[in-house]
Every structure is written in C-alpha cells, then in structure tokens.
Amino acid sequence: MGELFYILRYTVPSLVVFLTAWYLLKEFFQQENKRRQANLMADRMRISLPLRLQAYERLALFLDRISANNLIVRVHRPELTARELQQQLIRNIRDEYAHNLSQQIYVSPQAWELIVRAYEEVIGQINALGAETNEEESATAFSQKLLEKDLGRQLTQKAMEFLKQEARKSF
C-alpha cells in the first residue's frame, strides 16, 4: 500500500502537468492555424477584390454599351441599309460579349445569368425588328425604330442593379 501511494504521489502531478501542457499546446496550435487562415484569406481578398471590382465595372460598361442609344451612336452610318445596320449592331454586341466573357469567373452565377439574358434579349429584339423591316430601308429609319423599341432596357437595368448590389457586398 505504501508503494502504491508513493507511485501515485509522483504519477498524478506528472499526469496533471502533461494534460495541462497538452491542452495549452492544442489551443495554441488551433489559434495559430486560425490566424494563418485569416492571413491567407486577407491576402486572397487583397488580390482578388480589385479584380472583382474591375469585373463589375467591365460588365456594367458592357450593359451600357449594348443599350440602344449607345449602340446606335457607335455603329450608325447613314449610308448603310437597315439590314447592314442590323448586322453591324449584332456583330458589335457579340464582340463586346466575347471581350467580357472571362469576367464571369468574378461574379456570381445569378449576375452572369442576368448579363447573358440581357445580351440575348437585345440581340433577339434587333433580329425581330430586322425581320419586320424592309431590307432596303435606311439605317436611319431602322435606328429610329430601335430607339422607340428601347432594346432590352428593362432587363439591362435589372442586371445593372443586381451588379451594383453585388459589388456593394464586396466591401
């Protein structure tokens, strides 16, 4: 009995010291891991935030550039026929879209879906109006009809508002 008491007298304090050290080291390493992850996340944000904001800017510019007013100002030439203007407008929109295609990796799937829908609707409306128009009609008359129709304005505005809200969440 004396020997057991003698062993316990040295074993119990050693065990308490061991468990305390183990607990403190475990907590230290967990905190250190959290700190490293926070630093890594901050570095990622520092690098990716400007890219994301640039993507929002470029997509907002894309939406603005496919609006009827801006399209016609950029593409319209009086010597064109309605059909030629229609083709020029669609080519211009597709070029803009292709130029901004890579921006989808920086925005949410919902935002990109709205961008694509606005793009498709504007092209669809130009084609529908082109189908209703005489091929030899002047580009000026076709432009006037496009301005009256106000190409995809509702959908582009909805996409623009969504982009703004999403960009605000980045701060």
Cβ–Cβ < 8 Å for 137, 81:
yes
Is residue 171's pLDDT more than 70? no
What is the structure's pLDDT at 30? Answer: 95
What is the structure's pLDDT at 19? Answer: 93
- Report the range of poorest mean pLDDT among 39-43, 50-54, 108-112: 39-43
> Residue 90 domain-assigned?
yes
What is the structure's pLDDT at 88? Answer: 95
Share of the chain above pLDDT 90, in %: 53
CA quadruple 9, 10, 14, 15: dihedral, nearest 10: -50
> Residue 22 domain-assigned?
no
Cα–Cα distance, 166 to 104 (Å, whole number): 13
Cα–Cα distance, 106 to 111 (Å, whole number): 10
> Residue 84 domain-assigned?
yes
Nearest in space to 78 (alpha carbons), one of 140, 146, 144, 145: 140
Q: What is the pLDDT of residues 120-140, one digit of tens each?
A: 999 999 999 989 888 788 888
> Residue 21 domain-assigned?
no
> Residue 20 domain-assigned?
no
> Residue 79 domain-assigned?
yes
> Residue 149 domain-assigned?
yes
Residues with Cβ within 8 Å of residue 149, at least 6 apart in sequence = 68, 125, 129
What pTM did the predictor assign?
0.74
pLDDT (average), residues 107-131:
94
Structural domain including 113 reads: 48-169
Most confident region among 4-8, 65-69, 90-94 by mean pLDDT:
90-94
Number of domains present in the structure of the chain: 1
> Residue 108 domain-assigned?
yes
pLDDT (average), residues 95-116:
94
